[in-house]
Amino acid sequence: RSYKPQDFEKVRENIEEAGLYYPEMDNENRLAEKISRNPDSILVAIFNDEIAGSIFIMENGRESFLFRLAVRKKHRGKGIGTELLKRAEKLLQEKGYSEVSLLIREEKLNLKNYYTKRGYKQGNLYRWFTKKLS
């Protein structure tokens, strides 16, 4: 289902457990802004009445990206991550996107294998640059 503001703490715990939480980008206000612009931009998976996983979707009209796919450790191996991926891909396809991209850290070999098994292909390698606009 789509994320709701009351899901924040559980989603934060989920992405924090996965080592993917960035307070500047993933705080409660930022996630509220994100879903106010696009209610389906964060999806959560419910298992036994608790949030077991989540995925974030970013789109700009030309390109779409998936990020912060995370499943709680106690729920891994149950297909929850795969179902979140499929749901996100279906949503994007329904909006007319023909391709979706994602980024992973180079050292995360297990994630390379995970995404490859689900049909993703490694693209060109780029170095990511950022600048704070204070």
CATH class label, 5-117: alpha beta
pLDDT of residue 107: 79
How do residues 54-78 score in pLDDT, each as one tens digit?
Answer: 999 999 989 999 999 999 999 999 9
Angle among Cα 107, 115, 45 to the nearest 5 degrees reads: 110
Q: Is the pLDDT reported for residue 126 higher than 80?
A: no
pLDDT score of 131: 85
Residue 71, token pair as written in the block = 């499943």
Beta strands in the chain (DSSP E): 42-47, 50-59, 64-71, 101-102
Instruction: Determine the length of the chain.
Output: 134
- Do residues 40 and 88 make contact, with C-beta atoms less than 8 angstroms apart? no
Backbone angles phi, psi at 132, to 5 degrees: -75, 130
pLDDT in tens, 101-120: 998 887 787 888 999 999 99
The two tokens of residue 74 are 């106690």
- pTM of the full structure: 0.89
Which residues are 53's β-sheet partners?
45, 71
Q: Is the pLDDT of residue 125 over 80?
A: no
Dihedral class, residue 83 (left if φ above 0, else alpha if ψ from -120 to 50, else beta)? alpha
Query: What pLDDT digit, counting tens, does each position of 21-51 carry?
Result: 999 999 999 999 999 999 999 999 999 999 9
Which candidate, 86, 95, 76, places its Cα nearest to that of 115?
A: 86
